[in-house]
Amino acid sequence: MSGGTPAAAAAATPAGRRMLPAVAPGPEERQALLEAVIYAADDPPAIADLAAGLGLPASLVKEDLERLIASYRSAGRGIEIRAVAGGYKMFTKPEHHEAVKAFAKTLRPKLRLSLPALETLAVVAYKQPVTVPEIQAVRGVNAAGVIHTLLKHRLIAAAGRKKVIGRPMQYKTTKDFLVQFGLNDLTELPSLKEIEELSRAALGEDNVETPAEETAPRPPAEAAGAGVES
């Protein structure tokens, strides 16, 4: 039996095949990983998918999954993991359906914003407090109608009048804005450089150099678009 190093073993592994971690996670950590993956997956992942994605033996994944499913059977848990369509998915428990249905009726409809609204919201988020003329100077178009829409959805609010001639109203983002975009506070907003990099990556332009005159672009719609359906 050869006594090669871990690096050598990794090198000998066929391309495309995942190696197990050098230090295998314990049972609790494995169950936590399964829980997170099943929760995040759009389609119910099968055991083979979970095993391949986590780099674990399918037999071990099956055992951990059975334990995880059993833990959700407790009366103190409001959701459960069920086998569906060849995979596994989280569901609310049948005994809680009426309560969940009643709660859902109290929720506001899912927010849908147009591209101009997202662009305007991005300007407010990064330049607040900001006036309508200042927003229009960035976007180059009339923003009065879009401001009304954002106020109606309570994503922005008045922030007092600017102490200049005419005393125009200023606007800022609200708590609803933070909730809608999954932010704890405004410090979690991505920097303009990060937004540009994400936008370029999404367009497949990672290798395109940015001209010097474009190093300070206006905030694109992506600055405020994450988490909101357009």
Of 224, 16, 195, nearest to 124 (Cα)? 224
The answer to whether 224 and 116 are in contact (CB under 8 A) is no
For 97-126, what is each residue's pLDDT tens digit? Answer: 999 888 888 877 777 888 888 889 989 999
For 11-21, what is each residue's pLDDT tens digit? Answer: 444 444 454 45
Of 170, 167, 165, 169, nearest to 128 (Cα)? 170
Domains recognised in the chain with CATH numbers? 24-103 (1.10.10.10), 115-225 (1.10.10.10)
DSSP 37-69: HHHH-SS---HHHHHHHHT--HHHHHHHHHHHH
The residues, ordered by sequence, that sit 6+ positions from 182 with a Cβ below 8 Å of its Cβ are: 226, 227
Q: What mean pLDDT comes out for the span 25-49?
A: 90
Q: How far apart are CA 47 and CA 33, in angstroms?
A: 13
Q: How far apart are CA 22 and CA 20, in angstroms?
A: 6
Stated pTM of the model: 0.51
169-173 and 87-92 strand pairing? unpaired
Looking at residue 203, its pLDDT comes to 58
Q: What mean pLDDT comes out for the span 166-171?
A: 92
Looking at residue 22, its pLDDT comes to 52
- Rounded to the nearest integer, the mean pLDDT of the chain is 78
Q: What mean pLDDT comes out for the span 193-199?
A: 68
Q: What mean pLDDT comes out for the span 194-201?
A: 67
Looking at residue 37, its pLDDT comes to 93
